[in-house]
Amino acid sequence: MASYELTVPAPVTSDRQFSKPLMCGSGPSDLLPCVAEALTAPMISPACAEYYNVMADIRVGIQYAFQTRSKLVLAVSGSGHAGMETVISNLIAPGELLLVPSRGVWDEKAKDMARRYGIKVETITTSEPFTTFSHEELESALERYRPAGLFITHGDSSTGTLQNIEGLGDLCHRYGALLLTDTVVSLGAEPFLMDSWGVDGAYAACQKALSGPAGVAPVAFSAVAEAKINSRSHEPPFYFDMKLLAQQWNCYDDTFFYHHTLSSPLLWALRACLSQLARESLPRAWARHGAVAARFHARLRAHGFEFLVRRPEDRMAAVTTLQLPEGLGYNKFVAQLRDTHNIMITPGLGPSAGAAVRVGLLGANASAAVADRVADAMADVAGIKRPDIASQ
Amino acid sequence: MASYELTVPAPVTSDRQFSKPLMCGSGPSDLLPCVAEALTAPMISPACAEYYNVMADIRVGIQYAFQTRSKLVLAVSGSGHAGMETVISNLIAPGELLLVPSRGVWDEKAKDMARRYGIKVETITTSEPFTTFSHEELESALERYRPAGLFITHGDSSTGTLQNIEGLGDLCHRYGALLLTDTVVSLGAEPFLMDSWGVDGAYAACQKALSGPAGVAPVAFSAVAEAKINSRSHEPPFYFDMKLLAQQWNCYDDTFFYHHTLSSPLLWALRACLSQLARESLPRAWARHGAVAARFHARLRAHGFEFLVRRPEDRMAAVTTLQLPEGLGYNKFVAQLRDTHNIMITPGLGPSAGAAVRVGLLGANASAAVADRVADAMADVAGIKRPDIASQ
């Protein structure tokens, strides 16, 4: 072999100490034990029958999780943002109008993405911050703008609000719009019925209520959305092209088409997440997240914390946004909770930056024990600065 | 909680038997033990300091692997194809011309991707199939087309050929073109010196010679490429936007920008792959893959197998393409090798479909013991049909 002169020496990466925290931010949550185990299952390749078996298991698992009988259901090889870009770039053509009622950072990301594809964007905002949209407000905007699509975030982790989507599909369809929905933080934690509610395009992530790793994003499209994709003239990015992905995932037949190499550990992990969700059942998973949030909220109230979201009916179970007593810095509070209790919560983001901390009791961490532990630790840290809070 | 009527019942996914094969196809390879262990390291989030520490470790590891001192170096959260789309969509503007000398399926993918962005594409082909391009042929095409960029695949796993890239950057720059290079199957297995060879944009994958999981793609851009990205007027997809990703990965400063959620297991795994590569050192990793391939090829020749790539100087060490004796079906041979020896190799793809099988001795499987085992097992399976082959 010829000799080659290296110009960059081998790096030495330090062995840092790292003490695993309890993951109670807006995500990622902690892994379910069965998911951690699945991550080390054998590598599989497109040449293995098992590769396609796992993909088939994932597809029925996603159909159950979204509650859809649609065939165009698969997992994109990327984060929730990859799911968002897949749904928007496949469903809305350049020059078409996307209406994005905006109440948090995900809506702003959707607007940014849409504009990159030459999609026109209109937006409305909530009458007050940290609330959700009424269907009357949405109908009025649909009537005014007549968009090709309405993009809405179901559970918005940047505000802690849950948008009512039940029946919104019918409303959109009356005005000729498709309904596109972000369920990244809500899927598996909050009731969501894709077919019954008339949702046309939905995407989620694995690292929230499913308690899996980030990097694989379930997506689903209704029959109407599927027809639009199959008759469209524009082309989305190769990596997100649902026409090609549908062949890779054998959505219609045994096509076994090679599009890109799926990540074995993430396939096994997502399969484990979805199997666990099916074992527990959606109604039980929803009820568990709801009951844990109710218990957590009651305990926080007893400690004297205030909710960023004023109207209880706007609050989501998955992620809670909390104001801190005056004098406590938000980033410092998050750091102290990590330092003193090894609990990881997340500071505010977008509209809640500098206005709240965000606590997620998701998936494996949606339990009464974790809820109590986090609420009490938060009171303790608040009490370091203001002892009157802790004793309330 | 309100009662919701499910329309899709919980799926029951079967407990299928699955016997882990030895992964010796064109990829994925088997995981290094330290990488399998890394996959189960604790979940980390953008709220953890460790998240940024791991990212910093990965960046210096990628600089070493590509041999570049460029700052614009990070890992895209997707497969090698995501890396390909990142490099093309960030570096070449709509309306500009990309020259794609084509000898395998990755070049065809690059052409498809480029066209989706309104990039003009010109191509040349090798004078004979399963060979590589001379620098004279490439210079003649550069002179004729004066492209904004030349895309070339270093190791082409669909033919088994390795393109000589040494000095190609200077050639491209003389004609005003940037050099874009696919190193998915070659990185860590074949000598590659990004800075010395004048490569402007390179991407790789984790599941080949790095012996990690798919789903995370190292990318690197030269200073010239970086300047072009920072002054461009077009916008690539959000998910692949290097301007935003550079902020997330703190390429220039401690920006700690949130772009999307990186996959914890894949971050830990890529870090482990790159640490192992640095420990072994690039020259040793290259020499190991080269020596193992030489041993494998000699043994295959002794068994009577023929190489699809006629000229030895065109053959790559990472993936070998082999013809089978007449009368042996390629897909059937692959299946029999799996059934009888539990060794997974891959059938031909693109130009090699129906003309060869593809064997990869990559990363953890680039060892003399594996080379002998695979060569002998292949002879055994060939001998099931043609006993005269096995006894040669």
Predicted confidence (pLDDT) per residue in B227-239, tens digit: 999 999 999 999 9
Nearest to B237 by CA among A42, A145, A353, A76: A76
Model pTM score: 0.96
- Other CB atoms within 10 A of residue A386 CB: 16
Could you report the per-residue pLDDT of B281-331, keeping only the tens digit for each?
Answer: 999 999 999 999 999 999 999 999 999 999 999 999 999 999 998 888 999
CA distance A261 to chain B (A): 6
Q: Is B198 on the interface with A (CB under 8 A)?
A: no
Helix A368-385 vs helix A330-341: crossing angle, to nearest 10: 120
Q: How far are the Cα atoms of A6, A10, A43, A77, B380 from residue A264, in angstroms, in the given order?
A: 33, 29, 5, 11, 29
C-beta separation of A215 from B263 below 8 A: yes
Interface residue of B81, B219, B238, B343 to substitute, partner A, most A CBs within 10 Å: B238
Answer yes or no: are the C-beta atoms of B135 and B143 closer than 8 Å. Answer: no
C-alpha dist (Å) from residue A267 to A63, A307, B247: 16, 37, 29
Of B195, B265, B287, the CB nearest to A265: B265
Q: Is A43 part of the contact surface with chain B (CB cutoff 8 Å)?
A: yes
Does the CA dihedral A342-A331-B256-A39 come out positive or negative?
Answer: positive
B265 to A39: CB separation less than 8 angstroms, yes or no = yes
pLDDT at A302: 94
Residue B388 pLDDT > 90, yes or no? no
B31 touching A, CB under 8 A? yes
% of chain B surpassing 90 pLDDT:
91
Cα gap A262→A58, rounded to integer Å: 13
Q: For residue B253, what pLDDT is reported?
A: 83
Q: Who among A27, A77, A81 is closest to B215 (CB)?
A: A77
Residue A314, pLDDT > 80, answer: yes
- Which tens digit of pLDDT belongs to each residue from B317-369? 999 999 998 888 999 999 999 999 999 999 999 999 999 999 999 999 999 99
* B247 or B46, which is more confident: B247
Using the Cβ of B188 and the Cβ atoms of chain A, whether some distance falls under 8 Å is answered with no
Which tokens in the block code for residue B213?
């999981």
Quick: pLDDT tens for A108-117: 999 999 999 9
- Strand-pairing partners, residue B235, are none
Q: Confirm or reject contact between B159 and chain A (CB < 8 A).
A: no
DSSP conformational letter for B106: H
- How large a percentage of chain A has pLDDT more than 70? 97
Would you state the pLDDT for residue B375? Answer: 97
Q: Are B317 and B186 in contact (CB under 8 A)?
A: no
Q: What is the mean pLDDT of residues A114-136?
A: 97
* Cβ–Cβ below 8 Å for B238 and A112: yes
The pairing of strands A97-102 and A149-153 is parallel
Average predicted confidence (pLDDT) for chain A: 95
Mean pLDDT for B31-36 is 95
Per CB-CB distance under 8 Å, the chain A contacts of B40 are: 36, 39-40
**Cβ contacts of B2 on chain A, cutoff 8 Å:** 191
Measured CA to CA, the distance from residue B297 to residue B307 in angstroms comes to 9
| Both structure tokens of B217 | 């793609």
User: Burial of A339 by CB count in 10 Å (0-12 exposed, 13-18 middle, 19+ buried)?
Assistant: exposed
Residue B1's pLDDT band (cuts 50, 70, 90): low
Q: Are A79 and B261 in contact (CB < 8 Å)? A: yes
8 Å CB contact of A8 and B109 = no
Q: What is the pLDDT of residues A9-61, one digit of tens each?
A: 999 876 787 889 999 999 999 999 999 999 999 999 888 889 999 999 999 99
**Is the torsion defined by CA of A122, A124, A130, A136 positive or negative?**
negative
What residue of B is the nearest CA neighbor of A265? B213
Residue pair A89/A296 in contact by the 8 Å Cβ criterion: no
pLDDT bracket for residue B386 (50, 70, 90): very low
Taking residues A361-387, report their average pLDDT: 89
Residues 247..286 of A with a Cβ closer than 8 Å to B: which? 258-266, 269, 271, 275, 278-279, 281-283, 286
- Residue A82 and residue B85: Cβ atoms within 8 Å? no
Rounded to a whole number, what is the distance in Å from the CA of A222 to chain B's nearest CA? 14
Q: How far away is chain B from the Cα of A237, in angstroms, using its nearest Cα?
A: 7
User: How far away is chain B from the Cα of A256, in angstroms, using its nearest Cα?
Assistant: 13
DSSP class of B184: T
Is a pLDDT exceeding 50 seen at residue B11? yes
CA A26 to chain centre: 9
**Among B235, B278, B283, beta carbon nearest to A4:** B283
CA atoms within 13 A on the CB side of B11: 23
Looking at the complex, does the CB of residue B182 fall below 8 Å from at least one CB of chain A?
no
DSSP class of A316? -
CB pairs under 8 A between A and B: 291
Please give the single-letter amino acid code of residue B387: P
Q: Is the CB of A42 less than 8 angstroms away from the CB of B48?
A: no
Residue of A nearest to B313 (CA): A1
Higher pLDDT, B385 or A364: A364
The pair phi, psi for residue A234, each rounded to 5°, is -85, 160
CA distance B197 to B169: 6
Closest residue in B to A345 (Cα–Cα): B47
Alpha-carbon distance A189 to nearest alpha carbon in chain B (angstroms)? 13
Selected residues 322-381 of chain A with any CB under 8 Å from a CB in chain B: 334, 338, 344-347, 349
Percent of chain A's residues with pLDDT above 90: 91
B344 contacts A10? CB cut-off 8 A = no
pLDDT band at B47 (very low <50, low <70, confident <90, very high): confident
Q: What is the pLDDT of residue B326?
A: 84
Say yes or no to pLDDT of B18 above 90. Answer: no
CB A180 within 8 A of CB A87: yes
Using a CB-CB distance cutoff of 8 angstroms, which residues of chain A are in contact with residue B43? 20, 23, 28-31, 207, 213
Mean pLDDT of the region B255-280: 95
In 3D space, the residue among B156, B242, B247 whose CA is nearest the CA of residue B201 turns out to be B242
Closest residue to A1, CB basis, from B28, B45, B287: B287
Distance CA B345, CA B335 (A): 9
Q: Kindly list the residues from chain A whose CB atom is less than 8 angstroms away from the CB atom of residue B215.
A: 77, 215-216, 262-263, 265-266
Of the candidates B47, B260, B346, which has its C-beta nearest A334's C-beta? B47
* ipTM (interface predicted TM): 0.95
pLDDT at A65 over 70: yes
